[in-house]
Amino acid sequence: MRAGHWDKSTHKSVELGGRTIGLVGLVGIGVRFARMVDAMDMRVIGFNTARGGLVDEDALLAALRSGQAAAAGLDSFAVEPLPAEHPFRAEPRIVLSPHIGGVTADAYVAMGVGAAKNVLASLAARAR
């Protein structure tokens, strides 16, 4: 709009309400995201797994290219960093993130606190 562009006729959005989203990984971030999209009246299909190596990359590409899946957002991959020649890089319906979903100041504090609690629990168990 700052450049003077105002052409609503070419803008195509998608209503999320009533749509279905599939989440691979319903721990931490996945659970929070599921709650957010549930609030938008989306149907959530979840699978209790994580890490990019568990995603069948060829099947995901085939599903996107055939229209069976509309889009994908990925934050972890079988090989990291994602190689330059990887086909995900050329697929416009995949949003790629460099495994930073949990890279926040709060996440680092939570990881440190969790690690300290695990050490203390282990020491307490040994003292018994």
If one counts every other C-beta atom within 10 angstroms of the C-beta of residue 25, the result is 21
CA distance 84 to 88: 9
Query: Exactly one of 19, 35, 43, 51 is catalytic; which is it?
Result: 51
For residue 50, the model assigns a pLDDT of 65
For residue 112, the model assigns a pLDDT of 92
Is 89 among the residues known to form the active site? no
What's the mean per-residue pLDDT of the chain?
A: 89
Is 51 among the residues known to form the active site? yes
- Using a 10 angstrom Cβ sphere, with 0-12 exposed, 13-18 middle and 19 or more buried, the burial of residue 84 is exposed
Is 126 among the residues known to form the active site? no
Tell which CATH architecture fits domain 8-102: 3-Layer(aba) Sandwich (3.40)
pTM value is 0.62
Instruction: Tell me which residues of the chain have a pLDDT lower than 50.
Output: none
